[in-house]
């Protein structure tokens, strides 16, 4: 089956076998060089692997962009407690669909990445926490894990190295908050998927109260490539501080939606217009969310920037997990933001008052504005609520919910005013019914 769309200017490292069903099988994976990275890793010391990944500059692809080698180096070097490697395959950020594709097409790449990551942090057990709705990817991954055990790539005495590495697939129940690292740990332990207060940080007390490192699917697969080819090879792509290639998930009013792999630092405008074909309708772009629904929006005039962590931050937004949502000029921004805030209100775990109350209250106000009954004061209230929701809670779901509210009011105030004027004279009863 041909993968939906490949652009000649992509640099396909992680996604090179998308659309190639043979790569899913153990035989096919081995024929493509599979498990050579694990073989090489087992010949290195854990510290050597950590140093190579550190030198590569690889940053976590789950959203925050934290340097992977540095995270791994936080794990205790000498400890009699078990260590755990957790792979975050929850992929719940609206607009994101890269991890499930990596798993669907290259499940052994993830198994290999997890085994290498586990060995590097001196863990004997890796857990992959996958979202329950990913039924097909989970089945494919379960089969790959079985094949890896049968071939001696996992389990006792991996590849005759004397090292034991177990890997367990854990299927979640589908809650956005279980993608947050400590919510994931609670859920894995059979508790409510609620984020934990930090400190203690996972490297000291993570899953089952033991030192743990948690990484995104894409991060672990990239780490395996770095072990095979070295840090300098990886740094041939990207910018000084944002190295390597990254998968970007493109959706919305776009001509060619899908996953694209490009070097970090790629020009965003060129990416959207040339690679993805611009809007499906040919109409002008109104807004773009560059990194998943949790990050501030950009206007069409703000797209001449690099697709890297620093350039996005300088533009007042974030690269996040690379989920690009494109909206053309027919978009009602108030409605879009209300839908996003509804999502966060539904997914808030409810532990923190600013998040629990703030998301629900903001959603109510936005709905009122959408129904034509808003006032200018509502915008001030929304900004006040957003301020109270930012930087004051256990996890950043609350900040994530505030980001689209604030950026939309700053950049698309006209849409809010229009909705208010549209509502002028609308009888309250019919406005409620809208
Ligand atoms: C509400 C919320 C949801 C998250 N969901 C995911 C997710 O689905 N997948 C993911 O990899 N990271 C997610 N993260 C980020 C994780 O907490 C964590 O930073 C990440 O798994 C670390 O991996 P990395 O260093 O490889 O990026 C989420 C964070 C928050 C606050
Ligand atoms: S910020 Fe929201 S989702 Fe995060 S812990 Fe607090 S209430 Fe739960």
320 lies in the same domain as 172? no
Confidence of residue 1 (pLDDT cuts 50, 70, 90): very low
Residue showing tokens 């690009």: 324
Last residue of a domain, one of 328, 348, 381: 328
Residues 81-132 have pLDDT tens digits of 999 999 999 999 999 999 999 999 999 999 999 999 999 999 999 999 999 9
5, part of any domain: no
Find the range with the poorest average confidence among 315-324, 340-349, 418-427. 418-427
Please, what is the average pLDDT of the chain?
95
In a domain, 103, yes or no: yes
- State residue 2's pLDDT score: 57
Residue 29 belongs to a domain with what CATH number?
Answer: 3.40.50.11540
Are 188 and 259 in a shared domain? no
272, 298 Cβ separation under 8 angstroms: no
Q: pTM of the full predicted structure?
A: 0.96
- Average pLDDT on 246-259 reads 97
Q: For residue 6, tell me if it sits in a domain.
A: no
pLDDT above 90 (res 351) = yes
Asked if residue 390 and residue 356 are part of one domain, the reply reads: yes
Q: Please write the tens of the pLDDT for every residue from 354-404.
A: 999 999 999 999 999 999 999 999 999 999 999 999 999 999 999 999 999
Contact 392 CB / ligand 2 (< 6 Å): no
Task: Check if the beta carbon of residue 101 is closer than 8 Å to that of residue 140.
Answer: no
**One-character DSSP codes across 373-431:** ---HHHHHHHHHHHHHHSS-SSSTHHHHHHHHHHHHHHH-HHHHHHHHHHHTT--HHHH
pLDDT of residue 343: 97
Residue 427 has pLDDT above 60, yes or no: no
CATH number at residue 374: 1.20.1440.230
**Is residue 153 domain-resident?**
yes
Q: Which of 260, 294, 328 is the last residue of a domain?
A: 328
Round to whole Å and give the CA distance between 181 and 87: 10
Q: Assess whether pLDDT exceeds 80 at residue 303.
A: yes
Q: Which residues pair with 171 in a beta bridge?
A: 130
CA-177 nearest atom, ligand 2: 3
Task: Identify whether residues 125 and 212 lie together within a single domain.
Answer: yes
- Kindly state the tokens that stand for 273: 């217009």
Nearest ligand to the C-alpha atom of residue 62: 1
- Does residue 408 have its Cβ closer than 6 Å to ligand 2? no
Give residue 6's pLDDT. 85
In the chain, the number of structural domains is 3
pLDDT at 296: 94
Same domain, 230 and 284: no
Residue 241 pLDDT > 70:
yes
Q: What is the pLDDT of residues 150-162, one digit of tens each?
A: 999 999 999 999 9
Helices marked H in 230-375: 231-235, 268-270, 309-314, 333-347, 353-370
Mark whether 181 and 210 lie in a shared domain.
Answer: yes
* Pair 55, 179 in one domain: yes
pLDDT for 254 equals: 97
Give yes or no for residue 400 CB within 6 A of ligand 2: no
Say yes or no to pLDDT of 411 above 50.
yes
Residue 51 in any domain: the answer is: yes
Is 3 part of a structural domain of the chain? no
Domain around 107: 21-235
Q: How far is the CA of 177 from the centre of ligand 2 (A)?
A: 8
Same domain for 425 and 337? yes
Q: Is the CB of 401 under 6 A from ligand 2?
A: no
Domain final residue, candidates 235, 265, 287: 235
Label residue 433 by pLDDT band (50, 70, 90): very low
Given ligand 1 and candidates 181, 186, 193, which is best to mutate, with the most ligand atoms within 8 Å of its CB?
Answer: 181
- Do 66 and 208 lie in a common domain? yes
Q: Are residues 297 and 341 in the same domain?
A: no
- For the Cβ of 415 lying below 6 angstroms from any atom of ligand 1, the answer is no
Instruction: List Cα–Cα distances, 279 to 74, 150, 241, 255, 417, in angstroms.
Output: 44, 48, 31, 5, 26
What CATH number did the domain enclosing 299 receive?
3.10.20.600
Distance of CA 413 to the CA centre of its chain: 29
Query: Is there a single domain that holds both residue 101 and residue 30?
Result: yes
Number of H helices, E strands in the chain: 18, 9
Q: Is the CB of 261 under 6 A from ligand 1?
A: no
Residue 219 beta carbon below 6 angstroms from any ligand 1 atom: yes
């Amino acid at each position: 089956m041909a993968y939906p769309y490949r652009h000649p200017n992509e640099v396909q490292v992680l996604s090179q076998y998308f659309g190639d069903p043979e790569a899913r099988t153990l035989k096919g994976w081995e024929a493509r060089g599979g498990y050579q990275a694990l073989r090489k890793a087992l010949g290195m010391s854990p510290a050597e692997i950590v140093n190579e990944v550190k030198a590569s500059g690889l940053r976590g692809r789950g959203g925050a962009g934290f340097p992977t080698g540095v995270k791994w180096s936080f794990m205790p070097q000498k400890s009699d407690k078990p260590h755990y490697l957790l792979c975050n395959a929850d992929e719940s950020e609206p607009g994101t669909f890269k991890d499930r594709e990596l798993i669907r097409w290259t499940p052994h790449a993830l198994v290999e990445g997890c085994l290498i990551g586990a060995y590097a942090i001196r863990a004997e057990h890796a857990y992959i926490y996958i979202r329950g709705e990913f039924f097909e990817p989970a089945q494919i991954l379960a089969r790959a894990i079985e094949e890896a055990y049968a071939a001696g790539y996992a389990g006792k005495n991996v590849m005759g190295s004397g090292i034991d590495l177990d890997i367990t697939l854990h299927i979640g129940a589908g809650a956005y908050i279980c993608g947050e690292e400590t919510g994931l740990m609670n859920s894995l332990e059979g508790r409510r998927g609620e984020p934990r207060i930090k400190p203690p940080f996972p490297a000291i007390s993570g899953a089952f109260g033991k030192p743990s490192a948690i990484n995104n699917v894409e991060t672990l697969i990239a780490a395996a490539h770095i072990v095979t080819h070295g840090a300098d090879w990886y740094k041939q792509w990207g910018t000084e501080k944002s190295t390597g290639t990254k998968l970007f998930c493109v959706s919305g009013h776009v001509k060619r939606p899908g996953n694209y792999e490009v070097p970090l630092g790629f020009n965003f405008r060129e990416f959207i217009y040339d690679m993805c074909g611009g809007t499906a309708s040919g109409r002008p772009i109104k807004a773009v969310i560059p990194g998943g629904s949790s990050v501030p929006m950009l206007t069409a005039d703000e797209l001449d920037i690099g697709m890297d962590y620093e350039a996005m931050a300088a533009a007042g937004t974030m690269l996040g997990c690379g989920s690009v949502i494109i909206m053309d000029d027919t978009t009602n921004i108030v409605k879009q933001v209300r839908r996003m805030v509804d999502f966060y209100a539904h997914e808030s775990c409810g532990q923190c008052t600013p998040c629990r109350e703030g998301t629900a209250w903001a959603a109510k106000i936005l709905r009122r504005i959408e129904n034509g009954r808003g006032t200018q004061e509502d915008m001030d209230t929304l900004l006040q609520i957003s301020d109270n929701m930012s930087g004051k809670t256990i996890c950043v779901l609350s900040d994530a919910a505030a980001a689209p509210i604030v950026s939309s009011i700053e950049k698309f105030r006209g849409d809010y005013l229009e909705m208010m004027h549209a509502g002028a004279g609308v009888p309250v009863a019919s406005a409620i019914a809208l």
